[in-house]
Amino acid sequence: MVKKILVTGANGYIGTILCNKLLRKGFEVIGWDTDYFKDITIGRYKNKYYSKRTDIRDKIKKLNGIDCIIHLAALSNDPMGALNEKLTLDINYKATITLAKKAKKMGVKRFIFSSSCSVYGIAKENLVNENSPINPLTAYAKSKVLVETELKKLRDDNFCVCLLRNATVYGFSPRFRNDLVVNNLVTSAIAFEEIRILSDGSPWRPLVDIQDLSEIISKFITLDSKAINGEIFNVGFDESNYRIKDIVKYVKKYLPSCKIIYTGEHGKDSRSYRVDFSKIKKILPKLIQKWPLEKSIHHLIKKLNQNFTKKDFDDGKFIRLTHLQNLMKVGKLNKDLYWI
């Protein structure tokens, strides 16, 4: 029986939601996090789970008693990956495989890896599934592919590897991120009364709310290892493939006075893909989407109207890359993103 779970990246955007959900389900949770974003919160928030400041690049000595590792820790989006491709490789790939090998050696039974649907890049097919050709366009996406490949080699009867290609996440978390497409459209509307679309709005994105994603990840803790070991699963819902310009109508519904502005600063975004999520539905036949896009946007607006300001948007403190650059600028992080 799985009792003790280690979550890396525990204090981030997804980790805070996931860890508290795991506690409610009765698991013992240990969190590791570099704590880059510990003080970047919306509203009042305090962890209810044990968390230790840990950089996954550091030497790992003990994993005693851990039944399952959920690995979220990474330089977590494309602009951050572009900050330093070597760092992206070191953190997202090399440190991940070192951790997985250590886990296997020390008797951890299950390793759940948070990958990304961004590995599909520009999709030539109308609808991509787990067997479709991949086309990673960024250092971030390339690192995810490398990890998937190496983790598959580590699986055996005693070490179950779960590979979850998450759709683009959205929704409220106390450790909020504003560098995700749905969240950013909502915050620009709140801050400026303008729904700012940075591209031409045509690309497709698969989307998943942070609550639904956390619920799905938690279910992989106890699924039969024979059915999932070494398998890749796209994580999301078929009904939540959207063009970016189509997301806007839900923001406009709840903030009707907002203008729609196409800034064009990103040009024609080349990343466009629709994703087939039928495989995960087979392994989780009772899976339902509890947080569809409209519901989540409405919830986001209610939460952020109370706590999000124009200054928050302009400062970029909820944008991962900007915050890391600010920590380096004031001398708290060095160029390799180690605390000084």
Q: What is the pLDDT of residues 8-32, one digit of tens each?
A: 999 999 999 999 999 999 999 999 9
Residue 193 lies in a domain: no
* 42 within some domain: yes
What is the pLDDT at residue 76?
A: 78
Residue spans of the chain under pLDDT 50 = none
Residue 332 lies in a domain: no
Residue 77 pLDDT: 65
Note whether residue 247 is domain-resident.
no
Give the C-alpha separation, 65 to 314, whole Å: 45
Instruction: Write out the residue range of the structural domain in which residue 135 sits.
Output: 4-176+206-241+271-292
Instruction: Tell me whether residue 132 is in a domain.
Output: yes
Task: Please check whether residue 158 lies inside any domain of the structure.
Answer: yes
- Nearest C-alpha neighbor of 336 from the set 117, 12, 139, 87: 87
pLDDT value, residue 150: 98
Instruction: Judge contact between 279 and 236, C-beta under 8 A.
Output: no
Q: Which residue type does 170 have?
A: Y
* CA–CA separation, 56 and 78 (whole Å): 20
Tell me 240's DSSP state: G
Q: How many whole angstroms separate alpha carbon 338 and alpha carbon 36?
A: 10
Other C-beta atoms lying within 10 Å of the C-beta of residue 101: 15
* Ramachandran class of 236: left when φ > 0, alpha when ψ lies in -120 to 50, beta otherwise: left
Q: How many domains does the chain have?
A: 1
Residue 258 lies in a domain: no
- Here the CATH number for the domain that contains residue 51 is 3.40.50.720
Q: What is the per-residue pLDDT for 268?
A: 54
Whether residue 329 is contained in a domain is answered as no
